[in-house]
Chain A
Amino acid sequence: AQKITQTQPGMFVQEKEAVTLDCTYDTSDPSYGLFWYKQPSSGEMIFLIYQGSYDQQNATEGRYSLNFQKARKSANLVISASQLGDSAMYFCAMREGRTGNQFYFGTGTSLTVIP
């Protein structure tokens, strides 16, 4: 089974609107970390936001927030007030706490912001 599932290969959003990128994960480990990365067309991987499985509150970093629903095993990224520079690939990733050593990435969502 896939550890990380991103079901939206491509998304479009109007500039200044909010957008939600979906991510579901599969683990039986009670301790895990969830990450979102952005990959612009230039190719580098940019860390956006982190959520720990024991964190009581949803993570936020500027215009990025993580809608963490533990029971549903989902960790959706919300980008508020989209900007043209947000057009990129977005990857969700997970590390399981007890095995500790491997990171798992989803297949990514390509976001296009329309002026």
Chain B
Amino acid sequence: EAQVTQNPRYLITVTGKKLTVTCSQNMNHEYMSWYRQDPGLGLRQIYYSMNVEVTDKGDVPEGYKVSRKEKRNFPLILESPSPNQTSLYFCASSHTPTLAGGPRETQYFGPGTRLLVL
């Protein structure tokens, strides 16, 4: 089954304790991305990756790190979490966006990770 998986699904942590949220896809997608969803703000892109070893900042990268060492995996790292990073996080993947566009660039989302930072 084609899917994007995230772990953990739920996480409660304390300020300053490093954590990693894993993301894996089995669709051989080049493009992967992390979003956070907050009430009234919709989804905001944190980081994205066009391919292995290629990552770039989205709109809200502060306080986050990512790495893309393998095509299928794109972990999100919070080195020193703070309460304002309490949110619902989504990982997504798609084929490489191109100038021509098209439905192939539709992103498929993981189930989400609910993070609470105390």
Residues of A within 8 A of B (CB): 4, 6, 31-33, 35, 37, 43-45, 47, 50, 52-54, 91, 93, 95, 97-98, 100-108
* B12 part of interface (Cβ distance < 8 Å): no
User: Is there contact, CB below 8 Å, between A100 and B98?
Assistant: yes
Residues of B within 8 A of A (CB): 33, 35, 40-45, 48, 50, 56, 58-59, 88, 90, 92, 97-103, 105-109, 111-112
Q: How far is the CB of B7 from chain A (nearest CB, A)?
A: 15
Q: How far is the CB of B64 from chain A (nearest CB, A)?
A: 15
- 9 further A-B contacts with Cβ under 8 Å, apart from A33-B102, A105-B43, A107-B40, are A4-B42, A37-B109, A44-B109, A50-B103, A95-B101, A102-B58, A103-B45, A103-B107, A105-B42
User: Is there contact, CB below 8 Å, between A44 and B101?
Assistant: no
A106 to B45, CA, bound (A): 12
User: Is there contact, CB below 8 Å, between B107 and A50?
Assistant: no
User: Is there contact, CB below 8 Å, between B112 and A47?
Assistant: no
Q: Which of B45, B90, B98, B99 contacts A102 (CB 8 A)?
A: B45
A106 to B107, CA, bound (A): 15
Q: Which of B41, B45, B98, B106 contacts A50 (CB 8 A)?
A: B106
Q: How far is the CB of A33 from chain B (nearest CB, A)?
A: 4
A54 to B35, CA, bound (A): 27
User: Is there contact, CB below 8 Å, between A43 and B97?
Assistant: no
A45 to B113, CA, bound (A): 12
User: Is there contact, CB below 8 Å, between A47 and B106?
Assistant: yes
Q: How far is the CB of A28 from chain B (nearest CB, A)?
A: 15
Given A50-B106, A52-B101, is A101 in contact with B50 using a C-beta cutoff of 8 Å?
Answer: yes
Q: Which of B41, B42, B48, B107 contacts A101 (CB 8 A)?
A: B48
A79 to B103, CA, bound (A): 20
